[in-house]
């Protein structure tokens, strides 16, 4: 099992984000943006090879994302709404995301096998998301899934007036 660290403040931004291992070495670079249909994130190995990407294909309440690994489509992620909680399912891979997604503590399962666990951690260098992935080959897809879940949470927590308040902060002083 390997652990991957992503700095919290960078994951939800439209910026380049480094994914590091337990030793602090940069393993992947996540680039792209979210917000409109067709937007995508790409995950690159540090040698410049693209290893995975995720593309937003619909922008409705039941948003859909296509997952690619080495340019091959490996799954479609759907957000299914229920009354008690959100539920996420990745078709083709038959993975389900379960846990406390709002507090960034969840797991990805294939039947009863754990693919990934995600939690928050505070280190000397800042606040991070820690992804514990059982198989290294699944790490790129898991990182893409975590980025989408984080995007939905950040988008949901920003009410319509939060962006306006941020724009008007300069006039309050």
Burial 85-124 (b: 16+ CB within 10 A, else e): eeebebeebebebebebeebebebbeeeeebbbbbeeeee
Separation between Cα atoms, residue 51 and residue 81, nearest integer Å? 30
DSSP secondary structure code for residue 94 in this structure: T
Tokens 């009410």 identify what position? Answer: 159
Question: Rounded to the nearest 5°, which phi and psi values hold at 154?
Answer: -65, -45
Provide the pLDDT for residue 19: 93
The total number of structural domains that make up the chain: 1
Average pLDDT over residues 145-171: 55
Give the domain extent around 144. Answer: 2-172
pLDDT tens digits, one per residue of 49-61: 999 999 888 766 5
Tell me, what CATH number does 24's domain have?
2.40.160.200
Q: Compute the distance between CA of residue 112 and CA of residue 135 in angstroms, rounded to an integer.
A: 15
Q: What is d(CA 100, CA 119) in angstroms, rounded to the nearest whole number?
A: 10
Among 19-23, 126-130, 152-156, name the one with the lowest average pLDDT. Answer: 152-156
Long-range contacts of 53-59 (CB under 8 A, 24+ apart): 53/144, 54/144, 54/145, 54/147, 54/148
How many CB atoms neighbour CB 139 within 10 A?
24
Convert the pLDDT of each residue in 9-45 to its tens digit: 655 556 688 899 989 899 999 998 766 666 788 999 9
Vertex 70, ends 94 and 31: CA angle to 5°? 95
Give backbone dihedrals phi and psi of 72, rounded to 5 degrees, phi first: -110, 130
Q: What is the pLDDT of residue 26?
A: 94
Distance of alpha carbon 127 from the chain centroid: 16
| Highest mean pLDDT: which range of 62-71, 98-107, 138-147 | 138-147
């Amino acid at each position: 099992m390997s652990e991957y660290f992503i700095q919290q403040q960078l994951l939800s931004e439209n910026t380049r984000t480094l994914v590091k291992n337990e030793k602090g070495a940069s393993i992947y670079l996540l680039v792209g943006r979210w917000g409109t249909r067709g937007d995508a994130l790409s995950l690159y190995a540090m040698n410049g090879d693209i290893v995975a990407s995720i593309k937003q294909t619909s922008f409705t309440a039941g948003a859909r994302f296509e997952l690619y690994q080495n340019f091959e489509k490996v799954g479609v992620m759907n957000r299914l709404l229920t009354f008690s909680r959100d539920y996420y399912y990745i078709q083709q891979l038959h993975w389900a995301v379960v846990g406390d997604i709002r507090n960034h503590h969840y797991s990805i399962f294939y039947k009863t096998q754990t693919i990934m666990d995600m939690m928050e951690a505070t280190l000397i260098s800042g606040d991070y998301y820690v992804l514990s992935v059982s198989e290294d080959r699944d790490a790129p897809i898991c990182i893409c899934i975590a980025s989408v879940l984080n995007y939905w949470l950040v988008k949901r927590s920003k009410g319509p007036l939060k962006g306006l308040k941020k724009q008007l902060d300069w006039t309050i002083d």
